[in-house]
């Protein structure tokens, strides 16, 4: 059966779907970064939050298309479980980006800290590395480059952990309004969780590369 499967044509559209989804994740992270860095303009704030919601819905459609194709495909270019885990994990990144953007509105946050912007920037960098690594999956000659990008994501996640610890410590030292502490701590945690999720995506990509290179 293994020999027979190796002779069957492999559906390559999965790589195009990964690329499309990763591009949406990157755009979501860029819009979130712009949202946090230019938080004063209320109209722009609402526009960017709405754009992130549009991107999340578009990513959901790509995820659905990927799962649908998976059910119809006999021989896949990489392990079926890896395909499902990869597209689902990337979708979770954009879900968390949307959660962070909506929390800003839900909690009626009026001002943000430099630490929140720094966490968003680390998230953006992580998403860009995901996109770069995903693009290399269709060509295992680039395996070492893909692994390097995954390693960079791990580094950004560690840095995000450090930034969040410093941010929360500073928050409890300097902020007297308990409600503001709760609000900002939630934002920090959502941003850091999104970076954690990027690391999960990187781990899946790394596993795919090591199994197929």
Q: What pLDDT is attached to residue 142? A: 87
- Check pLDDT > 90 for residue 32: yes
pTM for the complete prediction? 0.92
For 136, the 3-state DSSP assignment is: coil
Q: What pLDDT is attached to residue 2? A: 39
Q: What pLDDT is attached to residue 10? A: 57
Q: Burial level of 42, CB count in 10 A (0-12/13-18/19+)? A: exposed
Share of the chain above pLDDT 90, in %: 80
Query: What's the CA dihedral at 73, 75, 80, 83 to 10 degrees?
Result: -70
Q: Give dist(CA 5, CA 37) in Å, integer.
A: 51
Q: Give dist(CA 143, CA 49) in Å, integer.
A: 36
- Check pLDDT > 90 for residue 5: no
Does CATH place domain 2-212 in 1.20.58.220?
Answer: yes
């Amino acid at each position: 059966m293994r020999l027979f499967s190796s002779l069957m044509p492999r559906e390559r559209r999965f790589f195009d779907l990964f690329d499309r989804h990763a591009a949406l994740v990157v755009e979501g992270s860029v819009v979130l970064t712009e949202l946090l860095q230019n938080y004063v303009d209320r109209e722009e704030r609402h526009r960017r939050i709405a754009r992130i919601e549009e991107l999340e819905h578009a990513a959901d459609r790509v995820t659905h298309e990927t799962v649908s194709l998976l059910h119809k495909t006999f021989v896949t270019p990489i392990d079926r479980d890896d395909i499902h885990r990869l597209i689902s994990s990337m979708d979770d990144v954009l879900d968390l980006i949307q959660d962070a953007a909506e929390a800003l509105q839900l909690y009626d946050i009026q001002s943000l800290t430099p630490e929140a912007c720094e966490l968003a920037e680390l998230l953006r960098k992580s998403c860009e590395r995901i996109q770069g690594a995903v693009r290399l999956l269709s060509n295992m000659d680039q395996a070492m480059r893909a692994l390097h990008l995954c390693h960079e994501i791990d580094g950004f996640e560690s840095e995000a952990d450090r930034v969040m610890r410093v941010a929360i410590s500073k928050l409890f030292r300097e902020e007297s309004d308990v409600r503001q502490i709760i609000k900002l701590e939630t934002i920090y945690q959502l941003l850091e969780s999104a970076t954690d999720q990027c690391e999960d995506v990187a781990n899946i990509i790394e596993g795919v590369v090591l199994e197929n290179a």
